[in-house]
Amino acid sequence: MIRSAKNFTSLLIGSVGSRLLGFMVTVYLARILDVSGFGKISFALAVFSFGLILTNPGLLLLGTREVAKKKEKIGEYLPTIVVLRLLLALFAFLLILSLLIFLPKSQDTKVLIFFYSLSLFAQVFLLEWFYQGIEEMEYIGISRLSVFFFYLPLVFLFVKGSQKILWVPLFWLIGNIAASLFLIFIFRKRFGTIRLRFNPSLLLPLLKKSLPLGLAAIMIQIYLYFDTLLLGFFKGDESVGWYSAAYKLVFFVLLLDRIFTETLFPLIVRYYQESQEKLKILLKRYAKIIVSLVLPIGVGGTLLASPIMNLVYGSQYEKGVFVFQILIWVVTLSSITSVYGFGLIGCGREKKYTFAITIGTIANILLNLVIIPLYGLVGAAWVKLFSEGIMFALMVIQFEKIVQIQFWKYIPKPFLAAISMGLLIHFLRDLHPLFLIFVGCITYPILLFLIRGFAIEEISILRRR
């Protein structure tokens, strides 16, 4: 467990630092660009994200799982996965270039998409999946920080308005190249030179194994960004700007959940092979932590949406407040869903996981095609919440057949503490939002402790872990 604690701490520092730095850049761009310009950046990133997923048809998660199970196979898996991703990146890049010809958007937006697409090749050599598999995540933390050591100062120094908007994706490319070079340097120092070679005998089994995860990854990208693309086509750049501002602020909250899942995934794989009882204990404890963390975030975010949006972005993004209030519950639900999603993958139930993601994404696509033209960004937020609920329900049904976590047992006490915290925040609502957030952060754990939502023994165990 010492290694798990070290991995968690490393990811915590790296991910919190990179997310904070990235969020600073997002806020700066949202303020320095007009709403329309910020919308163009967000639309271009959405297109890039679809290209990025073509370079990873489930290969990274599969690679992590296979390395975690068979560390002696490093020399076989890593070169083959990198070469395959390089070919897929070239295909994705050419596909995006072809689509730009017919895309009914401004020239600035098309150039932004082109520049962002160059980062597809840098992402190929970002070996985070490998270090996650061998459970040496301190390197992942450093690489994530290194992106912003370059990206953030370059943006702050050279982007002073919408006329410099085209520099943003190029600075992002420089940051990604730096992170990839760092991980390659560490690999060479530890394991020797990466000898890229194409192994056909390993290629087909890899593609076959990764197909369910690849389909799920594509579905997830569609689920995450289809609403942004559709808003860009039907409602224009300003709607994308308002929606993206709320979306990025809300999903910043997913940071802690993602750190937990990245840290625990190799353990899930190992425990499933070694002991069902150890796996059950691990996931129950994880579920209890996540539920206790996300419920107060949902309640507090709903109450403080308007002052937070105004504090971070300014009054020009006021139309994103209601979107924020809806999406904060998407994050709450998504965090609990991740317990079951990573559990299914770690236990070799990729097809069950993919089925849940696919059904939720299909519902998201069909509903957005109807709702967004009628109700715009608010409709898109409601569709996101409904789609997340579908995925959540399907994953719970499937995973409870393997290990019974029964997360609902952990809801009543955190919910009671969160509601009590919310009443206090509402009573003090005229005070500064940062002070109210501080009050919530102090009040909630005290209330949870008083009603024995966490026992002293459990806190002691968590501290040791």
- Answer for the pair 231, 372: CB distance below 8 angstroms, yes or no: yes
pLDDT for the residue numbered 462: 46
Per-residue pLDDT tens over the stretch 10-58: 666 776 777 788 888 988 998 888 888 889 998 998 889 888 878 876 6
Tokens of 17: 């630092």
- The helix-helix angle for 74-102 and 59-69 (nearest 10°) equals 170
Q: Residue 200: its pLDDT value, please? A: 66
DSSP sequence for 79-126: HHHHHHHHHHHHHHHHHHHHHHHH--S-HHHHHHHHHHHTHHHHHHT-
177-211: pLDDT as tens digits: 999 999 889 888 877 777 766 666 666 666 666 67
CA distance readout (Å), 396 to 218, 258, 294, 336, 408: 21, 19, 18, 10, 11
Q: How far, in Å, CA of 84 to CA of 62, rounded?
A: 13
∠119-216-353 over CA atoms, to 5°? 145
* Burial of 374 (C-beta count, 10 Å sphere; 0-12/13-18/19+): exposed
For the chain, the average pLDDT equals 83
User: pLDDT value at position 321?
Assistant: 92
Q: Report the pLDDT value the prediction gives residue 393, as an integer from 0 to 100.
A: 92
Q: Determine the Cα–Cα distance for residues 353 and 11; give it in Å rounded to an integer.
A: 25
Phi, psi of 49 (to 5 degrees): -65, -35
Residues of the chain with pLDDT under 70: 1-12, 15, 57-59, 61, 66-76, 196-210, 213, 254-263, 265-266, 453-465
pLDDT at 162: 82
pLDDT for position 111: 92
pLDDT tens, position by position, 282-322: 777 778 888 888 899 999 999 999 999 998 888 888 889 99
Q: What is the CA radius of gyration of the chain?
A: 22
What angle (nearest 5°) sits at the alpha carbon of residue 308, between those of residues 305 and 309? 80
Dihedral sign for Cα atoms in the order 274, 280, 282, 287:
positive
Distinct helix (H) and strand (E) counts, the chain: 18, 0
